[in-house]
Structure formats: structure tokens, C-alpha cells
A and B are shown apart, each in its own frame.
Chain A
């Protein structure tokens, strides 16, 4: 097989293995059962060992069956144990899957004594062997693993299509599912069975341990970008594929050939970190940016309101008015600059900041909110006048026009606030 073909098929196999896992993992993530994915990934090992013992092959239908059986056993045992009431849920999971895993290692190490198969391969995946075992399909050389993987992917898609409605409801509202007449438990077990099956196909690519990576990380990354199930599945599949591609492309470093499955897991994690930073709504940078914008807006409004009050009382401010909340001088300076740029403030004849027409209107709006709130707090909430000001200073920035009208109406359009200052008109 040419080098290009090798690369292509390795990536193809990795992608086809990881996509079904990523899709199913979305449900695990939403149901807060992420570690169940880890448990199943570990718990299937005895099944694989037994099947291997019986058939002598590392990929076969019996391996798949053995895995599914033990996947179900893992989940069932953990649930039964937790149901006794004397072991907590997470401990039950921990006890069951570590024991099964140890059993699996014992069986395999016993078996593999006579077999030339590095035990690490079972855990780290067999991607490196993929290009070597090929079969002939329509004149093309295709890795033996590929058709099986494709079948697994197809089955997963069929499963999702058939049970879409049920899965969606069970993921978001199990109580509703019960009242609608289908058993969340049955759907759960079906889900687990399918996960156990796809786990084994993923084991081909990324090894047993890294199955968790493919199950959860693309799903978590997708969850940062959307709240809806459909798009989340699409994104998860995308990240699974891109992770596989990146992992493979980067695996030749200098004279080392890095383990592809490990690299895929790392790339999935890197993708997650990048999206965490950059996601438009939930990303950290976006959050920080919005917070900054909010702080600037608040500082701007504070400056305008301060100047308005100064105008009212006829004093001239000789220094850049600082916000009452003790914000950083840089922020104040920046807010001031923006105000000038927006035409809300000017330098004034004697170099002191003055409100422009539009600036005054905005200031008026803010001060109106402030004093309306003080009146409201005084009248409806019955808060003493000397306590009202600090909260009003906070709240004034969040009162939109409708809310302002609502408050004014409920107070019958008061002319003055509790301190006697007149409330500016709209």
C-alpha cells in the first residue's frame, strides 16, 4: 500500500471508529453518566479475553458479542450494587469496573504467555497494524477492519434514527419519558449495549483505555458550542473526525513515530481547550470580553450620570469623575475616551468634560432609572432613604426602557425621588 493510501486508510479507520462513539457519548454526557463510559470501556476486557480464548482472533464477531455481554454486565452489576443501599453509586461503579478490568488483565496475561501479542496493544490500540491486514474489495485494497467499522457506524446511525425521540426525551427528562409510557431503563440498557459494541470497534483504533476520550471529549466540546441535541451530535462527529485527522498527521516527529491513538486523545483534549477559549457564547474569551464590555458600559453610564448631577447642582468638576464603585483608573480613562469618540462628551471651553446633547439624554435616562428605583424601593419595598442609594447605583444599569415605564407606572409617575431630587422625564 502506498504511503498516501496508508495514511488515508488509517485515518479513515480511526474516524469510522470514533464517530459512533462520539455520537453515543453525547447521551452519556447529557445524562451525567460520563464515567459509565469509562467503566464500560474497562469492563469489557474480560469479555474480549474470553472471546479471544475461544476463537484465537483479535477481531471477530465473538469479540463483539463478548464485549457487549460484559458491557451490560458492568452496568447491571454497578446498578445492582448501588441499589443495595450500602455502597454509593460512584463507588459501585468503581468497584465493578476495576475488578472486571483486573480480571481481564489476569486472563489476558495468562493467555498471552504463549501468544506473540504485546499486551500494550490491547490497551493502546492497533491502528499501526491497520494498513497491513487488507482484503480485496472490488479491486481496491481495503483494511480488513474497515468494513466491520463501517457496519458498526451504520448500526449506530440506525439505532439513533429509530430511537431518536426516545433518546432525546430520556436524555433531557427521564421523568417525562416514564409518564409517556416507555421505560427509560430499557432505553438505557439498549444504549449501554450499543456503546459496549462500539467500544470494541473503537478499541481497534484507539485501544480500550482511550475509548473514554472518544466517547466524552468530542461530546463535551460540542456542548460548548450548542444546546440543541441535533447540532451537538453533528459537532461531536466533526470533532471526532478532526481529532483523528490531526492525531495522525502529527504523529511523525523527528525520528519518533508517536503513538497515534494517544495523540488522537491529546488532540481531542486540545480541541476542547481551544473551543473552551474561543466558543462564541460559552467560551472563556467571549465571556471575558462581554464582561469587559459590561464594565465599560457601566463606567460610561456612571461618568455621564455624575456629570449630569454636577450640572444639576451647578458645580464644575475639576477631575475626571471616578465611578462610585472604585473601578480601575484605566477603565475610567478608556470609558471616557469612548464617550468622547461616540460624541457623548466633549472637552468643553475650559478643558473640563461637558455633556453633549446626546450625552445629556443618555445621562438623563440613567439618572431617571436610578431615581425611579429609589422611589420604588422607598415606596413598595419600604426601604429607608439612606439605604436606597447604593443598590440603586447598581441596579440603574440594568433597567431597560420597558421596565422603567413599568416602575414609573406602578408609582404613578412620581416627580421626585426620596431625597427630593426631581426625576428626569423620559
Chain B
């Protein structure tokens, strides 16, 4: 990789880590029908990031990540509160938390814009994702977080599988269902937070949903889905980085664009679950039916 400038190598490492983490955790979110909770969490990190930026008087990566995490935790708490104490439905709860927290973030952003003179260095990155925002020190922190996350998933694989597939059965077996669920939410938050520098608040949800949805089309086994999703996430990140570099467009949207392309590709061409495969199978069934003198259903 010597032909690549140093900065690009750092960015590549950052998006690789992001792709792997979001890909893996996204699978659990998507399978648990929590895809849009990821969207809420990523929007909800904005006030925390802004507050950290203001407190630190400038870009301070680890503090901003911490701020994002705290903000996200509050959002998780708010969601749980709404679910437990009110009759507000889940989707409405997500919408309320998302917009209120994001609004607070925008307010703090306006404060930042007025307190910094020259181009809020490192601030914009967290909204849309900018490759210029990723440096080696930052990536080290991201690497640690991603490593811890993946280790936890590997350790608790069967516990997470069980709680995602059949939480009631988990309770019967004596597993602490609520705590495991909360652990998954925390990991989801970590996945969101490590992706913010590259992809930004607005688009992070895509990285949680698209690779997982694409991977699901190729395989019927969860373990394979996790690996595949991570792979798609990494591929989207890497290709997106090059695309962003060549075409001089922001990093976040490029990555999402590549991911979407991979999704469309999977949707069409995946064996068995892909649209083309299903169309062929339907054709074959019709012909077999006709050949045996049967009648087609109306």
C-alpha cells in the first residue's frame, strides 16, 4: 500500500474498522427489527459531540466520542422510559427522541459556528463525514473500541443469538434477558459512535442497515451473515474512500452509495433469495406445472 499517501491509508483503516463493526452489529439490529433505532441513536449523538467540542474549546477526538456516547446513552434511556411508562408506540418514540436530541445538537452547533472564527475544524466532519477528519491517533481509539466490540460479540455469540431469535425462551432458560438486550443496545451505540467521523451523524444508520440487509440475501446462517455483512461494510468503506478521493465528493455519501450499489447487486443476483433467482425458479415451476398437465392458478 505504499503507493497510497499516508492520509489515505489512515482513512482506509478507519473505514475498514467502521465497516466491520457496523456490519456485524447491524445484523443483530436488523434481525431484531431495530434498524431505525440505529437511526435514532446516530442522530441523538449530535448534542453530545457538540457539547464536547464546546467544552474542549476545539476538536478533541476522544472527548467528542465520549460526548457522543453519553448523548446516545441518554437517548437509550429516553426510549426505554417512553416504552415503559407511556402508551406511545415504538416508532413514535424513536421519532420523538431522534428529533428532540438532534434539535438540541443543531442548537449547540449554531453556538459553535458563532464561537469559532475559521471553519470549525473537525466539526463539520461529524455531521456528514469527511475524510480530512480522520487522523492516526483517532483511528487508534476507534481500533480499540471496535476490537472490544467484536470480542464481546464473539464471546457472547450464542447468548446474543438466543436473545435476538427467541427472548422468551432465553428467559425460560434463566438468561438475564433485559441485561443482554441492553448490552446489544450499548454495542449498537458503540458501532454508531465509531462510525461518526467517517460517515457522519446523518448517514450512519445506513451503515448499520444496508450491509446487514445485503448479507441476509446471500446466506441462511447467522455466522455467515455476520462475516458477509462485515465484508460488505468494509468493501463499501474502501471503495467509497477511493471514490470520494477521485471524484472529490464527501466521504460519507460515497460510502453509502457504494453500499447501496452492493445491496442492489445482492438483491438482484443472490442465489435463491435474489430477485433473478426467484424469477427463474417461478418460471421453472410454471413450466413443470404445465408440463404435467396442471393448470395455472388464476
A residues with CB within 8 A of B:
29, 32-35, 37-38, 81, 84, 86-88, 90-91, 93-95, 98-99, 101-103, 105-106, 109-110, 119-120, 123-124, 207, 209-210, 212-213, 215-217, 220, 223-224, 255-259, 261-266, 268-270, 272, 276, 282, 284
Contacts and interface: CB of A to CB of B under 8 A. Distances in A.
B206 A210 contact: no
B166 interface: no
Interface residues of B, number: 58
Interface in B251-270: 252-254, 256-257, 260, 263, 267
A88 B151 CA distance: 28
Nearest to B108: A262
Interface stretch (B8-16, B98-106, B286-294): B98-106
A34 B252 CA distance: 26
- Residue among A32, A38, A102, A259 having the largest count of chain B Cβ atoms under 10 Å: A102
Contact of B33 (A90, A256, A258): A90
A109 B128 CA distance: 11
Contact of B210 (A99, A103, A284): A99
24 contacts: A32-B91, A34-B94, A35-B36, A84-B267, A86-B216, A88-B30, A93-B35, A94-B205, A95-B210, A98-B203, A101-B203, A102-B206, A102-B252, A102-B256, A106-B254, A124-B106, A212-B95, A256-B110, A258-B107, A259-B110, A262-B104, A262-B110, A263-B107, A270-B100
Contacts of A84: 267, 275
B209 A282 contact: no
A46 B92 CA distance: 25
Nearest to A255: B114
Given A106-B253, A106-B254, A282-B86, A94 B98 contact: no
Contacts of A209: 43, 102, 106, 202
Contact of A265 (B103, B213, B217): B103
A207 B105 CA distance: 14
B96 interface: yes
B151 to A, nearest CB: 27
Nearest to A128: B110
Interface of B: 30, 33-36, 38-39, 43, 85-89, 91-92, 94-96, 98-107, 109-111, 114-115, 127-128, 202-203, 205-206, 209-210, 212-213, 216-217, 249-250, 252-254, 256-257, 260, 263, 267, 273-275
A67 B123 CA distance: 29
The 3 A-B pairs with the shortest beta carbon distances in the complex, nearest first, are: A265-B103, A269-B100, A262-B106
Given A95-B260, A213-B99, A216-B95, 11 more contacts: A32-B89, A87-B217, A98-B205, A106-B253, A120-B127, A258-B111, A261-B103, A262-B102, A272-B100, A282-B87, A284-B86
Contacts of A263: 103, 107
Contact of B107 (A207, A223, A262): A262
Secondary structure call for the B interface: helix
- Residue among A84, A94, A119 having the largest count of chain B Cβ atoms under 10 Å: A94
Contacts of A93: 35-36
Contacts of B91: 32-35
A81 B214 CA distance: 12
Contacts of A223: 88
Given A258-B107, A265-B102, A35 B205 contact: no
B96 A101 contact: no
Contact of A94 (B35, B104, B202): B35
Contact of B263 (A95, A110, A224): A95
A210 to B, nearest CB: 6
A261 B253 contact: no
B158 to A, nearest CB: 23
A109 to B, nearest CB: 5
A35 B43 CA distance: 13
Contact of B99 (A99, A123, A212, A282): A212
Contacts of A90: 33-36
A98 B39 CA distance: 10
B249 A106 contact: yes
